[in-house]
Copies of this chain bind each other. A is one copy, B any other.
């Protein structure tokens, strides 16, 4: 029996609102039966109004996920709450108890076995026992710097090294994003803001490295994520929100490495700054054949994350129970280690 997918939105920040608007306005066969947020100004509102639509959708925003799940019996919950696996896992207890599948944009949840191995194992066990599938995904981590290169390696007979570059023109993004990368700051201000934690590099480079290494069966010795660096404007550059003078900061860049035997076998290179031209997402595979795959201009992050979350909902509902990663949904890649098979009872 096929029927509409029933969804609860947990978290109505900017990303949660974008996802909700997209599902309400543009998707068929999937509908909201509930929504949850902690901010007093949203609780009690109709979901349509809460996300800035003209019409109502007939779903009130609640404050207690457990109660909402119990009252609405959804197939899946979309969690857009925090970037940290520890916080997200705690929140997921309500979904596991209610036997509701989960898809989340929590960056660390895309490979929680790295940042929180004990918690990941604990919640994996709880999820399996409850028959609940949990997946962290998004455009990055979740696609551009991990799944896309993973899939490309499937058509290589040998992969020696991977280099993945994202070079984003930040002037096309939202103002908070441009602020977060330090656009318009002096070098001194950038340093100070970094220390104060007001500027962060890209969140998720560790998780992308781990996803690639797990798919290719490459046992990494070390995961190195360097500190974000300022990208300095060599000429004035402007966005709709910021005017950057020569010598000021126009954005950030950051590199990360997956290391085996002292060799950086995976290099991730992330840069987001005003006026990057050309902007692109590139995968370079040193292997057989040698591959250079480029998406240009670069993939738009907001559209990409909304797309990944919504497009993958049916796959998560169908997936086996447990704390999953994208490698459980995409099973094609180069196999770097010794191959083996699990001896099943069927023969």
Using CB atoms and an 8 Å cutoff, list the residues of chain A in contact with chain B.
1-5, 22, 26-30, 73, 75, 99, 131, 139, 143-144, 147-148, 151-158, 288-289, 291-296, 299-300, 303-304, 306-308, 310-315, 317-319, 326, 329-335, 337-343, 346-347
Contact of A331 among B153, B158, B329, B333 (CB under 8 A): B329
Can you list 29 A-B contacts with CB-CB less than 8 angstroms, sorted by A residue number? A1-B342, A3-B340, A3-B341, A26-B157, A26-B158, A29-B338, A29-B339, A29-B340, A73-B347, A144-B155, A148-B151, A151-B330, A153-B311, A155-B308, A156-B304, A157-B307, A291-B295, A291-B299, A293-B295, A294-B296, A307-B334, A308-B332, A311-B333, A311-B335, A312-B332, A314-B340, A315-B331, A315-B332, A329-B332
- Cα–Cα distance between A155 and B141 once the two chains are bound (Å): 12
CB distance from A331 to the nearest CB of B (A): 4
Q: Which residues of B contact A158 (CB under 8 A)?
A: 26
Q: Are A155 and B131 in contact (CB under 8 A)?
A: no
CB distance from A153 to the nearest CB of B (A): 8
Q: Which residues of B contact A330 (CB under 8 A)?
A: 151, 329-332
Which residue of chain B is the closest to A319 with respect to CB atoms?
A: B331
Contact of A139 among B2, B5, B155, B340 (CB under 8 A): B155
A75-B341, A293-B295 known; 13 new pairs, CB 8 Å cut-off, are: A131-B346, A143-B154, A152-B295, A153-B311, A157-B306, A288-B303, A289-B300, A292-B295, A294-B295, A308-B332, A311-B335, A318-B341, A319-B331
Q: Are B311 and A289 in contact (CB under 8 A)?
A: no
Q: Which residues of B contact A296 (CB under 8 A)?
A: 292, 294
Q: Which residues of B contact A311 (CB under 8 A)?
A: 153-156, 332-335
Q: Are B292 and A299 in contact (CB under 8 A)?
A: no
Q: Which residues of B contact A151 (CB under 8 A)?
A: 147-148, 151, 330
Q: Which residues of B contact A99 (CB under 8 A)?
A: 346-347
In the complex with contacts A73-B347, A295-B293, A27-B307 CB distance below 8 A: no
Q: Which residues of B contact A27 (CB under 8 A)?
A: 339
CB distance from A304 to the nearest CB of B (A): 4
